Amino acid sequence: MTDQRVDDLVREATRMRYSRRGIMKRASALGLSAAAANAAVIQSGKAAPKRGQAPSVRQNRTISILAGTYFVPEAQEFFDQQATEWGTQLGVTVQTDYINWPDIQARIAAAVEGGSGPDVIEMRDVWPNLYFENMVPVDDLANAVGESYGGYFDWVTSSVAVDGKWFSVPVGASSAAFAYRMSYFQEAGLADPKVFPATWDELFAIGANLKEMGKPLGQALGQSTGDPPGFAYAYMWANGAMEREEDGKTIAFNTPEFVEGMQKFVDAWPLAFDDTGLAWDDSANNRAFLSDQIAATINGSSIYIEAQKAKRGASTADYEVVVDPADIWHATLPAGPSGPFVQLGSWSYAAMTYSPEQEAALEFITWWTERDHFVPWLEAQQGYIIPMGPGLTDLEVFTGDPALAPYATVAEIARNKGYAGPADQKAAQVSSLYIITNTFAEAIQSGDAQAAIENGAAQLQRIYGR
Amino acid sequence: MSVLPIEAPARPVERAKPTGMGRILDREAPLAYLLMFPGLFILALFMAYPFGLGVYLSMTDKYVGFANYDFIGFDNFRYLFQDTIFQRTVRNTFVYSFFTVPFKLVLGMGLALVLNNHFHFSRFMRAGLLLPWIVPTAISSLAWLMLYDSVLSPFSILFKNWGLIDSNINFLGSQYNAMAALCLANVWRGVPFFAVSILAGLQAVPPDLHEAAALDGASAWRRFRDVTLPVIRNIVLISTLFSVIWTFADFQLVYVLTKGGPANSTHVFGTYAYQLMGFSDLGTAAAVSVSMFPILAVFAVVLLRYVRAED
């Protein structure tokens, strides 16, 4: 009797495209035992394969992988080669699709609502909290990957896991640090060009000198997902504010310290910053830096990597790179009254439940996150992606070049979006609507820090209080 | 002598009485419905159904990727009416539409009047005029994005080389500049539509009317006002209606150039709905889109009634 009910449930799950959770719920509603429910999950192909298990993918299949465009093009080519290599071994055709970062979520939305799209998706930051119902549960695989790399950093777990469960496998993330021109900073009054201003106040002061020299600080504050929030969240935390308290509901955004800190930033903007920054996305500040328009900007290590390539005569930029990498140094973000912080959220790879090729998708993620394949990919990133666990931080790619050292150490001062609450669905929504970033942009435009923060707090209240 | 046979008088051809389907199709009304059916079917499938679904979703708390959601009536609209970004979006959309359309109309009409004359290369010019209209907007928007680039804008480079400016022009990094930049690109893209539509209307103006008016001593302005304008009036009104609707619902240009920024200061309905939808809040996104409908419906009804009344 029970077997028949399990068979019926498997058929229903296949027809209705139930997720693992959906099957469990339905099994519960049907009064099936836990063992029977598990059997239905396995028979429906919703269980993640075990790490190290022999590939069991059927031949002549196609899977597609959606990811954000790489800022290190060589790594993108390397990933393509890896995907092809895996596909050739198993007789699976792998298609990779790289799109602009701000457009990834719209593509995911269309896929999950239409029930068709990429089989594997590179999730960013807290996105698993938005789409977990459409992602194949991968507890076993994610735990195995974590164990093999010495566990996950807290910032990884807090951004990717959904209520303690894994629906995607973390792979690390691009990090954030100040890339700056040592020569310009020295000329502007920095005593030791390798010791960056320790506080935001000091940076703003030296930024005023830099702007007088015609080489201001550059900060992207457009509606984009990388560098603008990389600054805005960190500056907010450094100035004694958070989106919310630990209870997840009480807004802690409109604090006197933050208003004061914001006013300092607003005052510093015309004096120390390139004022076109309000329109910059994640790549505009790279262009500005490498075209010698600015002296410093918050970024991943892609600026440095591109400058090195240009020096070798191998630049892939569609503009002239005129900056010598020997003049570039990096520093962690300065401190405010509450200390220094950096916003970090891990990227992760998910197999999607709507995919008819879940098995192949999971096999690929399993294969790719094995040390033999994942470490070379990290190395191809040339330090742009920092790893998800401490077991990989001693790789030569992270320790070999002292100029890149700050990128691997920022994990110690990292917080997740939504802090001090969890990185949940609402934190993802706040991030997606650029509320924190836009508070800064609005303050600059209006000149009124208090009003901009009040407006931002009201928007946070409408989401976190909903 | 041959005698020509006398032809029998021709008998009127008797038409076979239509039967069955033929009889039905012989009547105007069923034939009309039959011919309209493919169009209606396509409209229902690709326009009415998505619109109905959009209206329904706007009254739910549906999130992308979550199977369970509830019907919440007008809560999303209440939320939006208190949402400062939505208020800004409405204002922006009106500014964007009602500021650009008059420019497009005037410039388009001027261009049409010029091109209605024959001169060297006038055919070539007419064809070239259509370029901004036929180039996919996403591509022309990217061209504008390069022109407005904060680092590599050719305008900034040129003016700096001429010593006119010290730092790059902040095209998209301030709210007023960004909106002006959007309007300029929109006018550039929209002028050809007016020009071509009005040019078609101008070709329908009988030349003898102009000649008669000229003989009566009417000035060029009087001839334009009293002869040309009445003939092309309906074309102008319909073109204006279309242009307002398209501009109101614009997405590509704004998304490519500003994504609604800086600080939401250039969001229009389309970009704000996209931002909400892409970032999972499907119910509210649908409510933003549906909010456009009554405004456009009122505008369309008023304009079309005016056109019919004048007929």
Instruction: Give dist(CA A466, CA A426) in Å, integer.
Output: 9
pLDDT digits (tens, 9 = 90+) for A43-96: 665 555 555 554 555 557 899 999 999 989 999 999 999 999 999 999 999 999
Give the list of residues 6+ apart from residue A129 with CB closer than 8 angstroms, or none: A162, A423, A424, A425, A427, A428
* B247-302 residue pLDDT tens: 999 999 999 999 998 999 999 999 999 988 876 789 999 999 999 999 989 988 88
The residue with greater pLDDT, B123 or A192, is A192
Q: Of all helices (H) and strands (E), which one includes residue A298?
A: strand A296-299
| Closest Cβ opposite residue B152 in set A109, A287, A442 | A287
- What digits encode the pLDDT tens for the residues B96-108? 998 999 999 999 9
> Both A284 and A382 in a single domain?
no
Query: Greater confidence, A114 or B11?
Result: A114
Longest CA–CA span in chain A (Å) reads 82
| CB-closest option in B67, B166, B260 to A133 | B67
Phi/psi at A174 (5° precision): -70, 145
Specify whether A361 is located in the same domain as A324.
no
B119 or A301, which is more confident? A301
Going from the C-alpha of B308 to that of each of A328, B212, B302, B305, the distances in angstroms are: 69, 28, 10, 5
Q: How many CB atoms lie within 10 A of CB B116?
A: 16
Q: What is the mean pLDDT of residues B125-133?
A: 82
Q: Does B271 touch chain A (CB under 8 A)?
A: no
The answer, for A344 touching chain B at a CB cutoff of 8 Å, is no
- Residues contacting A132, CB < 8 A, separation 6+: A162, A165, A167, B65
- Determine contact: B259 vs chain A, CB below 8 A: yes
A131 CB near a chain B CB, below 8 Å?
A: yes
In contact, B280 and A426? CB cutoff 8 Å: no
CATH at A322 = 3.40.190.10
Predicted local confidence at residue A54, as pLDDT: 47
Angstrom CA distances, A375 to A347, A391, A406, B82, B129, stand at 16, 11, 20, 50, 55
Same domain, A31 and A128: no
Q: How far is A375 from chain B (nearest CA, A)?
A: 32
Whether B16 shows a pLDDT value over 80: the answer reads no
Mutant choice from A167, A223, A434 vs B, greatest count of B C-beta within 10 A:
A223
The ipTM estimated for the assembled molecules is 0.77
pLDDT of the residue at B277: 81
pLDDT average, residue stretch A229-250: 96
**pLDDT band at residue A309 using 50, 70 and 90 as cut-offs:** very high
Whether A447 has its CB under 8 Å from any CB of chain B: the answer is: no
Q: What is the pLDDT of residue B1?
A: 45
Compare all CA atoms of chain B with the CA of A278 and give the residue at the minimum distance.
B173
Residues 279-298 of A with CB under 8 A from B: 279-281, 284, 287-288, 291, 293
DSSP code, position A389: S
Residues of A in contact with B141 (CB under 8 A): none
Q: Are residues A354 and A322 in the same domain?
A: no
Q: Are A115 and A228 contained in the same domain? A: no
Residue burial A51-68, b: 16+ Cβ < 10 Å; e: rest? beeeeebeeebebbbbbb
Kindly state the average pLDDT of the residues A257-275.
97
Please compute, for residue B224, the number of CA atoms within 13 A of its CA located in the half-sphere on the CB side. 10
Specify whether A276 is located in the same domain as A186: yes
Domain identity same for A302 and A355:
no
- pLDDT of the residue at B167: 85
What pLDDT is recorded for position A386?
A: 92
B105 vs B113: CA distance, rounded Å: 12
Asked whether residue A54 is domain-assigned, the answer is no
Report the C-alpha gap between A175 and A346 in whole angstroms. 9
Q: Locate the chain B residue with the closest alpha carbon to A274.
A: B167
Pair (A287, A357) in one structural domain: no
* Residue A416 covered by a domain: no
Q: Which residues of B touch A462 (CB under 8 A)?
A: 79, 82-83
> What is the third-level CATH fold of B73-310?
MetI-like fold (1.10.3720)
Number of domains in chain A: 3
Residues of CATH 1.10.3720.10 domain(s) within chain B?
73-310
* Residue B106 or A466, more confident: B106
Q: A50 lies in a domain?
A: no
Nearest C-alpha neighbor of A240 from the set A337, A346, A122: A337
Q: Which of B178, B264, B280 sits opposite A109 (nearest CB)?
A: B280
Which chain A residues are within 8 Å of B149, Cβ to Cβ? 284, 287
CB pairs under 8 A between A and B: 136
Helices B269-278 and B282-310: crossing angle in degrees, nearest 10, is 160
d(CA B171, CA A32): 63
More confident residue, A377 or B65: A377
Q: What confidence tens digit (pLDDT) does each residue in A315-365 have?
A: 988 899 999 999 999 999 999 999 999 999 999 999 999 999 999 999 999
Token pair 């792979």 is at which residue? Answer: A171
pLDDT at A306 over 70: yes
Interface test with A, best of B56, B85, B150 (most A CBs within 10 A): B150
Using alpha carbons, select from A466, A444, A439 the residue that is nearest to residue A454: A439
Residue numbers in A near B167 (CB within 8 A): 214, 274-276
Question: Residue A204's closest CA among A258, A263, A264?
Answer: A264
Taking all residues of chain A, what is their mean pLDDT, rounded to a whole number? 90
Q: Are residues A19 and A78 in the same domain?
A: no
pLDDT of the residue at A26 = 76
Q: Which domain holds residue A299?
A: 177-343+433-464
Identify whether residues A204 and A300 lie together within a single domain.
yes
Same domain, yes or no: A300 and A362: no
- DSSP characters for A202-258? HHHHHHHHHHHTT--EE---SS-SSHHHHHHHHHHHHTT--SB-TTSSSB----HHH
- Say yes or no: A25 contacts chain B, CB-CB below 8 A: no
- The Cα–Cα gap between A15 and B87 comes to 43
Cα–Cα distance, A69 to B290 (Å, whole number): 33
Q: In chain B, which residue's Cα lies nearest the Cα of A18?
A: B67
The verdict on a CB contact (< 8 Å) between A106 and B277 is: yes
Q: Does B64 touch chain A (CB under 8 A)?
A: yes
Q: Is residue A272 part of a domain?
A: yes
Report which residue type is found at B48.
Answer: A
Cβ-defined contact of B280 to A432 (cutoff 8 Å) = yes
Indicate if A125 and A242 belong to the same structural domain: no
pLDDT for the residue A357: 94
Does the residue A333 lie in any domain? yes
